[in-house]
Structure 1
């Protein structure tokens, strides 16, 4: 195991001095002691392995790729309990994504159980409403004081909005592949209906959010036909697949020429980050299989495209009617 770990470190090194000298410097040990560790004559301690992993910015999964392939390490995104925590999460997400805009052929695959995050992070009522819903789920104080969206929209911190919009913009400069199905917008519509019926969302703002959701659907359709992200500085590609068989998961995979990593949901908007290479390859293969049994929308006939998007517009219109009439409950199926 140690020899594999050392070999991986050698691939990561960029020093012009000898590898042994670099290890000696990082671990603050003598040349001979470093030599013995590099040549597997002395075992690395756990503390030394952690120091090396941090220095070379690698996952300790590399230490576990020999042996059981059923045990992996994951990284959990920062906990979110309030506005400050959400702002931190948005900023860290931006910091993770922005380097990808400078990597040639970097891409994202998004299994869209719900409307993908970056479609909603724009200067709109929908983006503000998504922030409200997230905070209602994680902030105990907001839940207990029963703050309505109409009140929240007057007090939402501008720095929080700025972080959200900034994250939404950076996604436009990465190649994106999304997999949707007929229920992808249901979650957003159900959220509007829930808070409207609970008296925490006014009719006026509920209808404006419906308009924003419809704008997102139209925008997605336009990008799917053009196969490009509108407003992208990098002329990034956009591909939309429609899957009629599987339920999506909101799992996101990032692919670069040198690495694959994916994020799978943990709670409302927190994620497990998985870098373990064999597991990432399995997830990539699964996505490839999903796409192979899905329709790439640009290749579908005009009738199929119209049917898919018309179903979503019909659902939005149903919700509008429900909000305007304020009568009996209905669902979207």
Structure 2
């Protein structure tokens, strides 16, 4: 059991020498004493085990599989109730993602029910609109005061934007594979139409958001063709798969040489974090099957690739026409 515990802790530290020093510091013991515990020559006391678990922020229940084998323990992301909560969520997300940029073999697989978050976190009206939509769902004050998007962007805190753009930038340095289908873009378009029709989004800003969505589509197409993330310091790879069979889920799988972990949606942008390795392996196998049944867009013929992206541009154009004419409703299919 101690061996399993030590292996788990080591996976969270990149250097063995640093790991020994860190254990010594946490337990307030000498280097040699820490080395003996790490190499199983001395048993860890219960108190020492708890100290290390708290320091490395791990659950002993989760680690040692306490409970039914069909029961897993998950972590829930911090709740978001207002702008301050969203800003904290963005900071915590950055702190979780940044270490992955230091691991050469770290990668992300994203099942894209909607346009993945990191494509939209840029200095654009779309980025600001996404934050407005999230907060409309969780902050009763915005709904109660009937705050429009036009009002929202007048008072949006600079610190919120800085943290959003910072998170968007860090994703450029991680290998990413995304699985899309023909409806991935629909949710974003529907959000624009909904708040435009409800009177919370002006025609001028709605049209600017449409332009931003087109820019995102063009950017994704370039990355899909060259199989790399534009602006990456690490020359990170980018693979876009198109799946015509399954419905996507916005589940994110993170894979490193040490472990796998995945995040699955809970409410709005909150999520469950699952580190239970047998469950992570099942999810990884499912993603591999999905990708195996999908078209890797760079390998698809020029005709198939053009059809896919042209279809998305057509949907944006239909939304733009609907906003300009402001007449009969329609759908995006």
Is the Cα contact below 8 Å between 1:175 and 1:237 reproduced in 2? yes
8 A Cα contact 1:26 1:55, kept in partner:
no
**C-alpha separation in 1, matches of 2:323 and 2:233:** 39
Change beyond 3 A, Cα 1:302–1:263 = same
Q: Distance in 2 between matches of 1:60 and 1:274?
A: 14
- Provide Cα deviations, 1:135-173, integer angstroms capped at 9, x if missing partner: 101100001111111111111111100100010011001
TM-score computed with the length of structure 2 as normaliser = 0.89
Instruction: For 1:149 and 1:96, locate their aligned partners in 2 and report how far apart those are by CA, in whole Å.
Output: 30
Q: Distance in 2 between matches of 1:291 and 1:196?
A: 36
Equivalent in the alignment of 2:72? 72
C-alpha separation in 2, matches of 1:301 and 1:274: 37
Aligned residue number for residue 204 of structure 2: 204
Aligned residues between the structures: 323
Tell me the alpha carbon deviations over residues 233-265 of structure 1, each in whole angstroms, 9 at most, x when there is no partner. 111100000000001000111111111111110
- Whether the 8 Å contact between 2:2 and 2:43 is mirrored in structure 1 is no
The C-alpha deviation readout for 1:212-240, integer Å capped at 9, x for no partner, is: 00110111001000000001111110000
What's the secondary structure of 2:179's corresponding residue?
strand
Q: Which runs of 5+ in 1 are unaligned?
A: none
- Higher mean alpha-carbon deviation, 186-195 vs 101-110, is at 101-110
Question: Which secondary structure does the structure 2 equivalent of 1:190 belong to?
Answer: helix
What CA distance in whole angstroms lies between the structure 2 residues aligned with 1:314 and 1:99?
39
How far off its partner does 1:65 sit? 3.2
Q: Specify the SS of the correspondent of 1:298.
A: coil
Mapped partners of 1:92, 1:177: distance in 2: 22
> Does the CA contact (< 8 Å) of 2:74 and 2:273 recur in 1?
yes
Q: Cα offset for 1:291?
A: 0.2
In the TM superposition, residue 71 of structure 1 has moved relative to its aligned partner by 1.1
**Residue 25 of structure 1, CA deviation:** 3.6
- Report the 3-state secondary structure (helix = DSSP H, G, I; strand = E; otherwise coil) of the residue aligned with 1:123: coil
Determine helix, strand or coil for the equivalent of 1:273: strand
Per the alignment, residue 132 of structure 1 pairs with 132
Q: Distance between the aligned counterparts of 2:20 and 2:198, measured in 1?
A: 67
Sort the Cα spacing of 1:216 and 1:109 in 2 relative to 1 into closer, same or farther, 3 A: same
1:311 matched to 2:311? The reply is: yes
Query: How far is 1:70 from its partner?
Result: 1.3
Q: For residues 256-293 of structure 1, what are the alpha-carbon distances to aligned partners after superposition, in whole Å with 9 as ceiling and x for unaligned?
A: 11111111101000111111111111111110010000
Q: Deviations over 1:178-218 (max 9, x none)?
A: 00000000000000000000011011100100010011011
- Is it true that 1:175 corresponds to 2:178 in the alignment? no
| Contact 2:62-2:72 within 8 A present in 1 as well | no
**1:5-24 per-position Cα deviation (integer Å, ceiling 9, x unaligned):** 456468569579999x9699
Aligned counterpart, 1:269: 269
Aligned to 2:106: 106
What is the SS of the residue equivalent to 1:289? helix
Closer, same or farther: CA 99–326 of 1 in aligned 2, 3 Å: same
Over residues 46-86 of structure 1, what are the superposed CA-to-partner deviations in whole Å (9 max), with x where a residue is unaligned?
x7654332234444355443763311111111110000000
Q: How does 1:20-99 map to 2 (within 5 A)?
A: 25=27, 49-60=49-60, 62-65=62-65, 68-99=68-99
Structure 2's unaligned 5+ residue stretches are: none
Structure 1 distance, partners of 2:318, 2:263, is 33
Q: Please give the alpha-carbon distance, in whole angstroms, between the structure 1 residues aligned to 2:26 and 2:245.
A: 55
Counterpart position of 2:163: 163
Say if 2:26 and 2:52, in contact at 8 Å, map to a contact too. Answer: no
